[in-house]
Structures are given as structure tokens and as C-alpha cells.
Amino acid sequence: MAVKDPFHLAVQVRDIDEARRFYGDFLGCPEGRSSESWVDFDLYGHQFVCHLNPALRNNPVSSHKNPVDGHGVPVPHFGVVLEMEAWEALAQKLRDNGVAFEIEPYIRFKGEPGEQATMFFYDPSGNALEFKAFKNREEQLFKKA
């Protein structure tokens, strides 16, 4: 997927092989360069890097929760804004594979300018992910209420 200006994001993980299984095998992100202590992934056209932090084996990443639309949204978090069909397919794949959601897939801000499909879950190291979609991404992504 070609992205005009891809972002670069690096997170810490407790186990590189576990990260490869989750991001590469399960989420389907192609792997790029790597070493024993880090691995690059193509996260929907963006450069996403997992850096090994063995201290996380006993202490997973923790996050603060901020109230949004009646839910406790984990902060920090990251993810991708998908097309609606891809978001629905990912939500079903996560459900089918027993992934525990922090916030189950639902439509947030229903009937408002920022209406969006969203879901939150954690990777095996405790990093919070949000994947979302809009009916019309180009018009709604940055629209003010």
C-alpha cells in the first residue's frame, strides 16, 4: 500500500518472535529489516518497528484511560484508519480468533460529524491498538463537530 507520507512508529515488545507472530502472521503486516532486538513491519504502508524490552516479560506496557463516548480509551494507543469493509473483516477475524477487546467494535459518535467505527485491543506486550473506519473517510477524518 503506497502512502504519500508514511509515519514511523516504534514500540517496545517483550518478545521479538511473539511480535512477529502477532503483527506478521496474525495481522498480516509484511516484515522488513530486523535484528535480534528489533523488527520492522509494513503496517498498512507505514513503518512500524518493534524493539525488544525484556523487562516487559514481567511488567506489560501500561496505559492510562481517557473517557471518550462513554468508554475508557487506553492512552497511548495507535492503529490505522481503514476502509469500512476492511475494518469489518478485521473485527470479525479478531472475534473468530478470540482476541479480547478493551472496547468491542462499535459505532462511536453515532449521527454526529465524526461518526466512526472503532475497536480497541492489546498486542501480547500490552500495547493498545485502535482500528477505526468512517463511511466517507476523506470527508469525515478531520471534520469538526
Instruction: Summarize pLDDT for 120-139 with one digit per residue, the tens.
Output: 999 999 999 999 999 877 66
Mean pLDDT confidence for 42-48: 95
pLDDT at residue 143 greater than cutoff 70: no
pLDDT at residue 145 in the model: 56
Strands (E), 2-145: 8-13, 31-34, 38-43, 46-52, 64-68, 71-75, 78-82, 101-108, 116-122, 128-133
Cβ–Cβ under 8 Å, residues 114 and 140: yes
Least confident of 9-23, 30-44, 111-125, 130-144: 130-144
Look at residue 87 and tell me whether its pLDDT is greater than 70. yes
Domains of the chain from N-terminus onward: 8-56 (3.10.180.10), 64-140 (3.10.180.10)
- For residue 118, which amino acid is it? T
